[in-house]
């Protein structure tokens, strides 16, 4: 499946072997609550694995931590941590059906996401460097980071993949989506924080402009590499 383009082997395994991991509740208890997510530990594994692995959010927050520090990057951090779970809710409760009805909308968002990430990569590469602690540009705001989730290809793959893999049509969809969203909520805060603090610690190693410039260019290259699978998919769809 193309869905696996951004996922690590452990994340893929967690999707394939969900039936082997059970919640500490009986089926009867779950059925009485209208919830059939008996593979919740697998959902958690999927959430933590996909959130901790490199992607646009991780790379951008690490770059922000390096260039602006933790305090100035906090709105960006919270925008990711709250914006992505909100996106999972929206996808689980209706956007997926909307895109099945009007598939061109998903293609439009996908193309917009690729273009926006390339735009961000350019600005990351060309961002003015600064000596220890001197910041010349502003980091992403809370709203910008939250809205960015909607044009982030990896975020779409994670959200739609989780909803498709860990829900059933025989159970209460709302409660299933709540369970999945809560798993991502638990995973996002610590996983994104690791990348943020990694960026701040890298600042101690990147004490001159040459090293900072090299870091920014490297982050820009990684952003471009992160959308290559999407570009290949779009090219195969339109050139086939």
Residue pLDDT, tens place only, 28-60: 544 444 444 457 777 888 888 889 877 889 989
**pTM of the model as a whole:** 0.66
What pLDDT score was predicted for residue 38?
A: 52
What pLDDT score was predicted for residue 75?
A: 96
Residue spans of the chain under pLDDT 70: 1-38, 95-96, 99, 106, 113, 127-137, 168-170, 206-207, 226, 240
- The DSSP secondary structure of the chain, one letter per residue, reads -GGGGG--HHHHHHHHTGGG---SS-HHHHHHTT---TTHHHHHHHHHHHHHS--HHHHHHHHHHHHHHHHHHHHHHHHHHHHHHHHHHHIIIIIHHHHHHSHHHHHHHHHHHHHHHHHHHHHHHHPPP-STT---S----HHHHHHHGGG-HHHHHHHHHHHHHH--TTS-HHHHHHHHHHHHHHHHHHHHHHHHHHHHHHHHH--SHHHHHHHHHHHHHHHHHHHHHHHHHHHHHHH-
Residue pLDDT, tens place only, 103-116: 777 677 777 767 87
What pLDDT score was predicted for residue 34?
A: 40
């Amino acid at each position: 499946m193309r869905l696996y383009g951004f996922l690590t082997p452990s994340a893929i395994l967690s999707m394939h072997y969900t039936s082997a991991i059970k919640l500490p509740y009986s089926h009867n208890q779950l059925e009485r609550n209208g919830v059939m997510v008996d593979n919740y530990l697998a959902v958690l594994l999927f959430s933590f694995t996909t959130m901790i692995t490199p992607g646009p959010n991780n790379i951008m927050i690490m770059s922000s931590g390096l260039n602006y520090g933790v305090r100035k990057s906090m709105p960006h951090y919270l925008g990711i941590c709250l914006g992505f779970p909100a996106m999972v809710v929206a996808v689980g409760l209706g956007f997926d059906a909307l895109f099945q009805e009007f598939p061109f909308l998903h293609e439009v968002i996908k193309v917009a996401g690729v273009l926006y990430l390339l735009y961000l990569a350019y600005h990351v590469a060309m961002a003015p460097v600064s000596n220890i602690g001197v910041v010349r540009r502003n980091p992403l705001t809370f709203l910008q980071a939250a809205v960015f989730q909607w044009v982030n290809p990896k975020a779409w793959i994670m959200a739609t993949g989780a909803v498709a893999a860990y829900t059933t049509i025989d159970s209460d969809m709302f409660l299933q989506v709540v369970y999945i969203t809560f798993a991502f909520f638990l995973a996002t805060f610590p996983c994104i924080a690791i990348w943020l603090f990694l960026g701040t610690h890298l600042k101690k190693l990147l004490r001159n402009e040459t090293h900072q410039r090299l870091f920014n260019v490297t982050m820009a290259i990684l952003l471009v590499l992160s959308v290559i699978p999407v570009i290949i998919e779009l090219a195969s769809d339109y050139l086939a």
